[in-house]
Each structure stands twice: as structure tokens, then as C-alpha cells.
Structure 1
Amino acid sequence: MGLFSNQFANVVEWEEYRDDVIFWKWTNREIKKDSKLIIKPGQDAIFLYNGAVEGIFTESGNYTIDSQIIPFLSTLKGFKFGFNSGLRAEVLFVNTKEFTCNWGTSSPIRLQAPGLPGGLPVRSNGKFSFKIDDYNVLIEKVAGIKQQFTVDDIRDRIRGILDGLLMKWITKVGGDVFNLMANSVDIAKGIKEDLDMELLGIGLTITDFRISEFTYPENIQKRADQAAEYSMIGDMNRFQQVNMVDSMARGGRTGTAGSNATDMANAMVGMQMGMAMAGQMAGAMNQMNNAATQTAGTGTAPKFCPNCGQPTNGAKFCGNCGTKLI
């Protein structure tokens, strides 16, 4: 008996457990009589014999294999341990928890934007969660050829398709490319559905997908901030002049055509954003002026002064500029 004792296992359990491992396969050894199966909380144990599922055990605890496990297996119920012989089987230990990990774009995605023929480079990041959905599919597609499967394996699989899905759903949802977070919930919902279809093919399911932020190149973000500042004072001519001077100054320092082109592109982005914001402000002022014009001459003071836009509060003369209102 001593000649064979080292070939047999006394305990079948998940050895060297790691929290980021989705499943781990106990294999290449024979199980001897009176050996124990140990299932820890958060684990399921799947007995495999000749590649087929014999039984799935979901309750944590310590079990004697020949008396408490084998009687419940599909085709091994009558297995008898003989002299110097053991049961050669595989046990797949599965981590039943929900996994959560970070994701990020592998490279900037380029979105169509006004004034940028080459597109606006955008990066994004966030978190996603997943768990095992179908043991049979997981065994057929993955566990049959792998000893273990980790979160990094899933992250690599998702990274290969995520950039394309971001482009697809940003375009599909639409909206302002300079404020993608306004539509981030709808974009994330669409990506989650597509990723779920992808992972269902290997027995997993996406339980959550979230976008934390969209980031733009620092120089373009700076131009966007400048655009907001200039749009507040409504001086578009001055904005364009300043951008042209800044671009020429930077071009003089670098002396490269590529940098000049980049600076001009940045300036165009800033002008586009500033003009859009200024247009909104001008529209609001026009509405106030129209309201004032419509009420003038009716014997009733307008709500806003047609000259300076100050609220009139029903007075006959504007308290700010003195304009006669009735």
C-alpha cells in the first residue's frame, strides 16, 4: 500500500486560492477511499469524469467522498474503491461571487467634431461587474482546456472590443461630443447589453457597467475652458484674435508644421465651443428684448428694460439706466 500512497489524494480542495480566480481545476491525481472534499464559503465544486459533469455541489462543508459524494454522482454511483486503486476524476472549483474590476480605453477613440477633420481624441474609464451564469457553457468553452481562469483573462477579452463599442454607442446616442458625460448612462447601458451578449458565449454575464469619466487632451481641454471664459463676455472677435496670436507664438517657439497644425485645430475647437455658448446667451437676450418690445406701448411696463435688460418690477422708468418704459 505504501508504494501507491503518494499517488492518492487524502483531501480534495481549492489549493492556493486567489480572490481574482474565477475557477480552478483539481486534476491529474487519483482520489482514494475515505478522502475528503472541502468546499469553502463562496465556492461550488463540480465533479468531472471523462470530461462530463457528474455532479454539482453548492453547500460549503467537509464531505467524505466515497460515502457522501459518490452516491450522488451521475454514472459513478456504483464505483467501488479496490486494493491500490483510486478514482481518477477532476473537480472544478468555482468562485460564485460577483467580480468587479476597472476598465479603460486601450487607445484614444476619435470622434467627429466641428473644426477637427482628424476627429477629437477621447479616452474613457470606469468599472464593470460580472459573474458566472451557466456552468455547462463555461466548462464546454473554457474549463475544458484551461486549468484556471482569472479576472485578467476577462479584462483582456473585453479590452479587445470595448473601444469599438464606445464608438458605436457614443455615435448612436448622439449629443455634444464635448460633454459626453451628459449621456454616459445611456452609453453605458448600450455597452452593457453588447458585452453581456459577448460573455454569455462563455458562460458569464455582465451585471453592471459604469462610465466614470471621459477625458480629452489637456491642450484641447484648456481651449474649451478659454472658450467658456470668452463666451461669457461675448467678445468673439477678441477670442479669435487671442487664439491666433497664441498659436503664432507657439509656432514660433517650436518651428514645426505639425505643432502649428495642432494649435490651429485646438483654436478651432475653442472657437466652435465659444460660439455655441455665445449663441445660447444671445438667444436668451433676444427673448428678453422681444418680450420687452411686445409689451411696450400697451400702457403696461415690460418685465425687462429694452435698453439694459434690468427687471422693471412694473415701474415707469428703468431704475438702472433711466429709460422710459411706458
Structure 2
Amino acid sequence: MAFFKNQFANVVEWEEFRDDMIFWKWSNREIKKGSKLIIRPGQDAVFLYNGKIEGIFTDEGDYNIESEIIPFLSTLKGFKFGFNSGMRVEVLFVNTKEFTVKWGTKNAILIPTLGLPGGLPIRANGTFQFKVNDYIALIDKIAGVKQSYVVEDIQIRITSILDQLLMKWISKEGKDMFNLQANAYDIAKGIKEDLDMEILQDGMTITGFNIMSFNYPKEVQDMINKTASHGMIGDLKKYQQVSMTDGMASGKMSGSGAASDMAGMMMGMNIAKEMMKNINDDDAQQAAPSHANQPKQEAAPGGKKLPNFCPNCGEKTTGSNFCPNCGHKLV
């Protein structure tokens, strides 16, 4: 008798497990006397009978279905196995982990912007996280008609409405179109709430939504970078000088032949000349004494001015008409 019982025995487990699979359904088979249920880490097993939940088992391990599972099933707790009779149920295995999915806009989103009739084309990318949180809703909406469900199914659904949500939350409250990264947190928070409402009815929840970057067309990005450079330098003349110096340092101004060499030489001379001029101007301003500190020049009789130093011996004069050292007549 035991030989035949073992022939009918089977194992109920997640047979087609994939790391990106959200759930998988064991079905279309009878559970016989002596069958076992295997629950692995990160899995829940949901027993279904006629489409309704009979019991949910969350602890990993190997269980004897007759003695350890059936007594906890709602309407089947009194079921008795016979030699030729089995129990026909479905077991839904659910992956309990939090899934992380990368997303990115397939096409540029045209955001209405003042001065751009067609809108400003923007691309964005990032990640979002989700997990199953309601088995009843999951079975009613998805698992009741599907054998399995994978992350790609959710990704397709999310990305199909993501463009509309990005446009909604970027345009909201007059965001700075040319500095969206500064508002990325608020935009992502609004999108997360909308996405959560979208998939909540299917028994899942969005646990996180992140925007890694916003990308503009090259022409617009170049304009943003140039504007930022002007703002940091604050002076067009200095901006030109820095741009010139950067060009030389990076090799962008280099070329081949005498013409490029001459251009580089002239550029270097102009920069050096400008630097020396600035240094000399600064030195002159520091060295020049104020009028208040300059000694007053004495006036000789008849309105003629006396020299400060004797032209004959160089001794400093004292205000008289003759040098106090050599006696030379000063006027």
C-alpha cells in the first residue's frame, strides 16, 4: 500500500522560478496523500480553491500538506484523502521582495515653454521600486487569469503613462525649465503618488521613484552651460580671457602648420601683455602717494619756485635762495 501512496505523492513548489518573476501559479494538478509543500526564502504560498483564498503561508520550509497545511485551510480543513481521491487546488507562489526597475523616456517630451511654440524637448531617466502588498486585489485583477507575471509587465505598464506624468509634474507650479534637476525631488514625489494610485488596485504599491537626470537637446544644453559660465565669471572680458586660456590648455586651439603656431603665439603674447598691464596698473596705484602726503614746494621771491634739491650738489634745500651745503644760488 505504501508503494502506491508514494506513486501518487507529489511536491508543490515554485518550479519555474525566475528572479524577475512576481508570481507563478501551480495548477491543473491534484494534490495527493503524502504531498509536500516547499516554500523557499522570499516566497509566500497562497492556496486557492474555486478562485478564492483558502490560506496564506509565509514561513519558509517543507510542509506535509495533509497534516500541516489542510488543517489551516478555510473550507477544506476537514478534507480526507482517499486511495484514489486527491484535492484539486491551485497554489499561487508570490515573490515578496522589492523590485527595482530602470526607466527612461523613449522619445523626448515636449514641455510647454514660453518662447518655444513647439515646447522644450526633454528626456529623463531613473529608477522605481515596487512590491506586492495585497493578495486579494492581485488575484482579482491579475493572478486570476494569468499563470505568471514578470517585472517587464509592470515596466511596460508604468512607462506607458510615465510621459504624461512627467509633463504634468514638470509643468506644475512654474518649474524652471532650464534647471529641472533642482526640482527633481518634488517632481519624483508627485509622480510616485500618481503611479501608486495606478497600480494599487492590482495589489501592488510603488515604494520609491527616483529621477537620475534630465537631458536637454545639445543646443539647449550648450546655452545653459554658457549662461552658467557667464554667471560664475560675472564679466564678459574675464570670460573671454578664461575661454581663451582654457582653449590653449585643452589643446582646442592647437593645429598644424605655421598659421596655427602664429595664432597661438599671438594669443599668448596678448594674454601676457594684458597680464603685465594689469600688474603695472596695480603697482602704480599702490606706489602713487596721495596729494595730502606730498611736501609743499617752496616759492621764491618774484613767484619763482625753489627746487627741492640743489642742482649742484644734490643736497635738500631749506627754502632759502642759496644751497645750505655748497652755497649755490638756487634762483
Q: TM-score, normalised by structure 1?
A: 0.69
Q: Tell me the equivalent position of 2:94.
A: 94
1:189 corresponds to 2:189: yes
1:15 corresponds to 2:15: yes
Q: Tell me the equivalent position of 2:105.
A: 105
Give me the whole-angstrom Cα distance separating, in 1, the residues matched to 2:108 and 2:211. 15
1:24 corresponds to 2:24: yes
- 1:216-227 superposed matches below 5 A: 216-227=216-227
Q: CA deviation at 1:5?
A: 8.7
Q: Tell me the equivalent position of 1:135.
A: 135
Give me the whole-angstrom Cα distance separating, in 2, the residues matched to 1:203 and 1:228. 46
Q: Tell me the equivalent position of 2:258.
A: none
1:206 corresponds to 2:202: no
Q: Tell me the equivalent position of 1:48.
A: 48
Which amino acid in the other structure matches residue 172 of structure 1? K
Mean Cα deviation higher: 40-49 or 114-123 = 114-123
Task: Tell me if structure 2 keeps the 8 A contact 1:106–1:163.
Answer: no
Q: Tell me the equivalent position of 1:66.
A: 66
Q: 1:50 to 1:234 in 2, by over 3 A?
A: same
Q: Secondary structure at the match of 1:24?
A: strand
Q: CA deviation at 1:51?
A: 0.7
Q: Tell me the equivalent position of 1:77.
A: 77
Q: CA deviation at 1:94?
A: 0.5
Task: Tell me if structure 2 keeps the 8 A contact 1:44–1:94.
Answer: yes
Mean Cα deviation higher: 103-112 or 125-134 = 103-112
Q: CA deviation at 1:176?
A: 1.4
Task: Tell me if structure 1 keeps the 8 A contact 2:35–2:65.
Answer: yes
Q: Tell me the equivalent position of 1:267.
A: none
Which amino acid in the other structure matches residue 141 of structure 1? K
Which amino acid in the other structure matches residue 127 of structure 1? T
Which amino acid in the other structure matches residue 41 of structure 2? P
Task: Tell me if structure 2 keeps the 8 A contact 1:129–1:206.
Answer: yes
- 1:53-80 deviations in whole A, cap 9, x for unaligned? 1100011110011111111101111111
Larger radius of gyration, structure 1 or 2?
A: 2
Which amino acid in the other structure matches residue 224 of structure 2? A
Which amino acid in the other structure matches residue 56 of structure 1? I
Q: Secondary structure at the match of 1:33?
A: coil
Q: 1:85 to 1:114 in 2, by over 3 A?
A: same
- 1:159-198 superposed matches below 5 A: 159-198=159-198
Q: Secondary structure at the match of 1:211?
A: strand
Q: CA deviation at 1:228?
A: 3.8
Which amino acid in the other structure matches residue 13 of structure 1? E
Q: 1:214 to 1:44 in 2, by over 3 A?
A: same
Give me the whole-angstrom Cα distance separating, in 2, the residues matched to 1:108 and 1:6. 61
Task: Tell me if structure 2 keeps the 8 A contact 1:104–1:124.
Answer: yes
Give me the whole-angstrom Cα distance separating, in 2, the residues matched to 1:100 and 1:146. 22
The unaligned stretches of length 5 or more in structure 1 are 240-317
Give me the whole-angstrom Cα distance separating, in 1, the residues matched to 2:48 and 2:110. 48
Task: Tell me if structure 2 keeps the 8 A contact 1:9–1:30.
Answer: no
Q: CA deviation at 1:101?
A: 1.1
Task: Tell me if structure 1 keeps the 8 A contact 2:112–2:171.
Answer: no
The unaligned stretches of length 5 or more in structure 2 are 241-284, 292-331
Q: TM-score, normalised by structure 2?
A: 0.68
Q: 1:322 to 1:69 in 2, by over 3 A?
A: farther
Q: Tell me the equivalent position of 1:36.
A: 36
Alignment: residue pair count: 243
Which amino acid in the other structure matches residue 102 of structure 1? K
Q: Tell me the equivalent position of 2:274.
A: none
Task: Tell me if structure 1 keeps the 8 A contact 2:8–2:33.
Answer: no
Q: Tell me the equivalent position of 2:301.
A: none
Q: 1:92 to 1:206 in 2, by over 3 A?
A: same
1:149 corresponds to 2:149: yes
Q: 1:45 to 1:319 in 2, by over 3 A?
A: farther
Q: Secondary structure at the match of 2:100?
A: strand
Which amino acid in the other structure matches residue 118 of structure 1? G
Q: RMSD value over aligned CA atoms?
A: 2.9
Task: Tell me if structure 1 keeps the 8 A contact 2:5–2:33.
Answer: no
Q: 1:323 to 1:229 in 2, by over 3 A?
A: farther
Q: 1:70 to 1:36 in 2, by over 3 A?
A: same
Q: Tell me the equivalent position of 1:57.
A: 57
Percent of counterpart pairs with the same letter?
64
Task: Tell me if structure 2 keeps the 8 A contact 1:7–1:30.
Answer: no
Give me the whole-angstrom Cα distance separating, in 1, the residues matched to 2:115 and 2:89. 65
Q: 1:7 to 1:319 in 2, by over 3 A?
A: farther
Q: 1:216 to 1:78 in 2, by over 3 A?
A: same
Q: Tell me the equivalent position of 1:215.
A: 215
Q: CA deviation at 1:230?
A: 5.2
